[in-house]
Amino acid sequence: MKRVALITGASRGLGAMLARLLARRQFDLVLNARGQSDLERLASDVRDEGVIVIARHGDVTEAATRERLIDSATELGGLDLLVNNASELGGLAPLAELHLDRFERALRVNVVAQLALTQLALPLLARQRGLVVNISSDAAQGGYAGWGAYGASKAAFDLVGRTLAAEVKDRGVAVVTVDPGDMRTRMHQEAFPNEDISDRPLPDVTRPFWEWLLEQDALTITGARFRAQNEEAPWACPEPSRGAVPA
């Protein structure tokens, strides 16, 4: 029986690399991104692996988009893997000057919409003892000047993932957070519009991590936060889950 994965932010960069990797591992796929042409082109490419691919373009902050994604996964027979990869920079500016509507947009895309999609996906994931992967960033922990909106949203997303892992483990669902590290992607170029980022590696640099992750018993690592470009791999010293009730 084939496994099914749903990836948001799938049309390029890390999301596209993961789609190709999972297709080679014979996952059927539900792919989402805002840009229809790039998404359809990717879907056509990965179908060559002999898998079923449903491409659903749309903004993940919209309830109708999320519902279509879950309906598509149901159509394919369930859901084994959800990759919450859609992301918004939110405006690179000092917090004292940040337009708050940009901050709110970052929070909606990077936290609220991803949690809303995960909520809808949980019944399907529970049936398959599935895995949720939340894509984070070192900006969640760095306190980098100018990156406050993005970093704060990713820090919130980290805590959402860690908390959710503690709450859904007894349903057989695992949740991990992954910081893929600096990569040569369009989003990274948008963050550094006047810089040459050709020295950054392509998303393929993270492939060994994903190959490792897909072989794990997910419930034994649930709640962990991984650095995909960790030089001590495989995959030493993930940041531990803290599931205790606060005093």
Q: Is residue 65 pLDDT above 60, yes or no?
A: yes
Strand order in the sheet with 27-33: 53-57, 27-33, 3-7, 81-84, 131-135, 174-179, 225-227
Per-residue pLDDT, 144:
81
229: pLDDT confidence band, cut at 50, 70 and 90? confident
Model pLDDT for residues 47-59, shown as the tens digit of each residue: 999 999 999 999 9
Residue 37 token pair? 């042409």
Residue 82 token pair? 């959800």
Question: What predicted TM-score, i.e. pTM, was given to this entire model?
Answer: 0.88
Per-residue pLDDT, 139:
78
Distance CA(27)–CA(2), nearest Å, equals 6
242: pLDDT confidence band, cut at 50, 70 and 90? low
Weakest mean pLDDT among 41-55, 116-130, 135-149, 185-199: 185-199
Q: b/e string for 140-175 if b means 16 or more Cβ within 10 A?
A: beeeeebbbbbbbbbbbbbebbbebbbebbeeebbb
Strands (DSSP E) along 61-135, which ranges? 81-84, 131-135
Per-residue pLDDT, 22:
98
Pick from 14, 31, 5, 1: nearest CA to 209: 14
231: pLDDT confidence band, cut at 50, 70 and 90? low
- Do the Cβ atoms of 178 and 136 come closer than 8 Å? yes
Q: Is residue 93 pLDDT above 50, yes or no?
A: yes
Per-residue pLDDT, 132:
98
Per-residue pLDDT, 236:
54
For residues 199 and 237, which has the higher predicted lDDT (pLDDT)? 199
- Assign domain 3-227 one CATH number from 3.30.465.10, 2.60.120.10, 3.40.1390.30, 3.40.50.720: 3.40.50.720
Q: b/e string for 31-51 if b means 16 or more Cβ within 10 A?
A: bbbbeeebbbebbeebeebeb
* Element (DSSP H or E) covering residue 47: none
Distance CA(164)–CA(166), nearest Å, equals 5
Residue reference for tokens 């170029």: 189
Residue 199 token pair? 């020295």
202: pLDDT confidence band, cut at 50, 70 and 90? confident
By annotation, the residues acting in catalysis are 150
